[in-house]
Chains A and B, each alone.
Chain A
Amino acid sequence: MQQLNRRDFLRKSSLAAAVFAATPGITYAQVIGGGAQFDDYRALVCVFMFGGNDSFNMLVPNTTAEYNAYAASRQNLAIAQQDLLPINPTSFAPGSEPFGLHPSMASVQQLFESGSAALVSNVGPLIEPTTKDQFLNQSVALPPQLFSHNDQQDQWLSLRGKSPSKTGWAGRMADLIRSNVAGQQMATNASLFGSNTFQAADETVAYVMGPSGPQQFEGFSPEQRAAFLRIVDAQHDSIYERGFAAVQRRAIDAADTVTAAINSPEAQAITTVFPQGQLGTQLETVAKLIASRDQLQMQRQIFFVATGGFDSHDDQNQNQPGLLANISESIAAFHAAALEIGVENSVTTFTQSDFGRTLTSNGDGTDHAWGGNQLIVGGSVRGQDMYGTYPVLQIGGADDVGGGRMIPTTSADQFAATLAKWFGIPDVDLDIVAPNIDNFVQRDLGFMV
């Protein structure tokens, strides 16, 4: 089967673009390692929680004064202290159980305590280090449209700050390494949750499949397939026809290859049972694809999976347990599958979300905020520890910039740069992946080995 050479295709179809002024973008002139192939396999799996995960109920202070401040802020939305699942991050006194996880996250507690998971506290989009006073005085550059869903999803996924960039940090990583992975049979970036900003790129194209994998084309005899391809590849005078045809083309090319990978013996050999539901299904498919990485000649992969429902303006107490249980069980199952496949040290899973949520409530729910806690899982994670600085959960306190919104103490750029470095991006190129990273002293948060 012919492999689509995406760059050739774009070159052909972008002849028309020469008529219009192109956006000056990042030039990927620098080739990493002289274009040499990587000598190992690594994969990143982004689990995006759409809506803004109320992560100060996911990771809760367990020491007396701090818990009391939390409970006083959250009132009827606080988790009862006796219900918390205690954890022992190694930076703290052994056995002191200074923090606890939401009671629905027993699997994550287990992963954490066994060293396979870490937590990063109070991360959020920042352009430069920002104190509460600087925020209130607007005396530093701030990401635009804070507290707006799609803008903050965009900030997390693109790290673009104030620039109008249309690419995401996974897209830029794929662009940077494209010479090093030239033999891959599938795109570096794959999404199981639709097209997204995270994987948008200048040079490479993300492949979008459904939660269980690609759709196969019905009725595709060899003749039908060939006719379909010729129809798609024919001259189209409208830019919109060409855009549509491009998708059809990629779909036809990739459907067979990727489906074969999902049905491979290696993929079918996985015995781990995944939770039912969208996220479990997506992660199971990711596991199957990773099991088939050799068949597809993959060396670097970035997967985007997601689940929604986190915008808990209402009924937070009723809905949150199920949401967090799903995250916990699905990610734990995925790690178990990674162990089965033998790639636990090569695969790192991490969460992102629009924002954390307000300490104040509207009666039965919370509103959009800023800093939030994220989870990282994998054999190469320096697990059983917390990174960054956990904020003071006090309304009107030192970290509250108004309405119970915590100002991030670690930036999303730092978070991304740490993962990018592990993925194989040289330090000198980290500012391409995380454009604001040069504004921060700590480029590596230290949660990867």
Chain B
Amino acid sequence: MKSKLISLVASILLGVAGCGGGSGGNSQPPGPPPPPPITKAEAFQFLNQATFGATEAEAQRVINMRYEAWIDDQLQQPVSLQLPYIQSLTPPQFMFQLQPDRVDIWFRNALNGDDQLRQRVAFALSEILVVSQLGVLGGQPYALAGYYDILAENAFGNYRDLIEEVTLHPAMGAYLSMLGNEKPDPTRNIRPDENYARELMQLFSIGLVELNQDGSVRLDADNQPIATYDQAIIEGFAHVYTGWTYAGSPVFQGAFPTPTRQVFPMQLWPTFHDTGPKTLLNDVTLPAGRTGDQDLADALDNVFNHPNIGPFIAIRLIQRLVTSNPSPGYVSRVAGVFNDNGAGERGDLGAVVKAILLDDEARPALRMELDGKVKEPIIRVTQLWKAYNAASASGRYPYNFAYIIFGQGPLQSPSVFNFFSPFYAPPGEIRDSNLVAPELEIATEFLNTYVTNYMFIQTFAWNHAADPVTDPNVNDDTVLIDFAEEVAIAGDADALIDMVARKLLAGEISTALRGEIAGMLALIPADQGLLRAAETIYLVATSPEFAYQR
């Protein structure tokens, strides 16, 4: 064995192993052959995973730079924020009136920000560490904007820092009841609320059952799953999360959420912090008599060091970006990077995101039936908008009703359980095959038709030919798409279909879809360029193949 190894090493150093070639003077071993050029379809696939929608221009950059350099470049881009913009606006009479502005800046960052990857990851994080405008935060646009900013700022940072900022953010404090949570008072039958204790573990970090690194459920000797925590542990954490309220508040409970209070990390009132011992995970008990800060730091460390987080976060981020049903190997590799980024650091989200996007399973050599996922509805819209330079006359995108017409919107989830569950399987072959397709949970007959109808209005009415001044259905804030290019060549059906397919499907359109579009174009006179172009884009944008992210 040993001598074989030595001879192998020697042969490499002498440049004899690998490629043929004589024992010439050059001692450099021949390097691996250069990788094949990235195709346009592959670049589109990558960008649909890493941004809010592939465009031809950005695809060319990916082809030129290749994936890793593109990612590295993205990791350097400064973060696009929301709160400074919201704070720059004149406060309206009622704070909820700023929610459209919050959604506006979200769209502007998502569509036009240089930090595309960071914005996409922040959105993915917002679907895991959920707070929502629907509910108690409806009148707190500053809180929501500031909360989203911490997701964006920490998207490539460390997960331990992220969950600490999330824990202390007043948006989360209000949403999951940690704000104003007080220590026990037996005379008033008061016990600390358990909402945040439960959801931080169940939804934001470790989940309900122990996992192996590859995401599979660990089973005990009786082949049963093993719960990660019990009621005593929830109560332990609930007692940790006591004593926190709005920074600078004059009262512990009941202060009005002013714009300032909505954005500063919560502050500790020691008299309301429980100082008893607290049972945490892994048989750890925090001793009595410590400060709220000490308890909080140790409690978050206790959660952060649980082995579940790697696979838990890996699965969810992979599902948001790449595929609904990652293989155990894929999960394990990504979880491994969470556990150690290669430089000894646990929780490096930048490394995790890179690992997710560069893994072989995300860059498949051969397309397999289970690759990819259904696009989230809002990402179908943003991809269309990016491809067609969507903009309103005002330059704004105040689509506060996104959650109604698209079934989802930024920080507009119906509950802390996000728009869809990571475990959702629609009836039929997906469920029968033990697979999941989370995005289909909001692709019901009802919601899907809403989006289809939105695409109809977007293409036939809300386009570059619409005039906000004269058209009663269009105002300054209506987002219009621009397909003047298509209109110019619309007389030629093949050329028209080719152009739209290039922009939305990387040029790969199915024969069936092309045939049906051609059939419909045959019914529209050749000089009706706007109608022909709208029809083409409509049928592509509503097609199953556009809804599918490879």
Contacts and interface: CB of A to CB of B under 8 A. Distances in A.
B17 interface: no
Interface stretch (A11-19, A32-40, A101-109): A11-19
Interface stretch (B72-80, B275-283, B413-421): B413-421
A13 B426 CA distance: 13
Given A14-B429, A367-B193, A251 B449 contact: yes
B548 interface: yes
A407 B251 CA distance: 37
Interface residues of B, number: 80
Interface in A187-228: 191, 194-195, 200-202, 205, 207-210, 214-219, 223-224, 227-228
B437 interface: yes
A321 interface: no
B189 A234 contact: no
A147 B369 CA distance: 38
A240 B324 contact: yes
Interface in A282-300: none
A228 B188 CA distance: 63
B89 interface: no
B539 interface: yes
Contact of A219 (B426, B460, B510, B517): B460
Nearest to A145: B208
Contacts of B434: 20-21, 23
Interface string A43-74: 00000001000000000000000000000011
Contacts of B421: 150
A379 to B, nearest CB: 30
Contacts of B324: 240
A438 interface: no
Contacts of B453: 215, 217-218
A197 to B, nearest CB: 10
Interface in B445-489: 445-450, 452-453, 456-457, 460
Contacts of A227: 516-517, 519-520, 539
B369 A361 contact: no
B373 A240 contact: yes
A362 B445 CA distance: 41
A246 B446 contact: no
A413 B433 CA distance: 28
A19 B432 CA distance: 11
A228 B512 CA distance: 11
B42 interface: no
B428 A241 contact: no
Contacts, number: 223
Which of A74, A227, A364 counts the most B-chain CB atoms under 10 A from its CB? Answer: A227
Nearest to A13: B429
B127 interface: no
B429 A242 contact: yes
A313 interface: yes
B544 A241 contact: yes
A380 interface: no
Nearest to A224: B520
A247 interface: yes
17 contacts: A20-B434, A23-B431, A151-B208, A194-B444, A207-B445, A209-B446, A214-B445, A219-B456, A231-B539, A231-B544, A236-B544, A243-B374, A248-B542, A248-B544, A255-B449, A308-B414, A313-B177
Given A19-B433, A241-B548, A362-B192, 18 more contacts: A147-B198, A191-B444, A208-B444, A208-B445, A208-B446, A217-B449, A227-B519, A241-B544, A241-B547, A242-B544, A247-B444, A248-B542, A251-B446, A308-B414, A308-B415, A309-B135, A367-B193, A367-B195
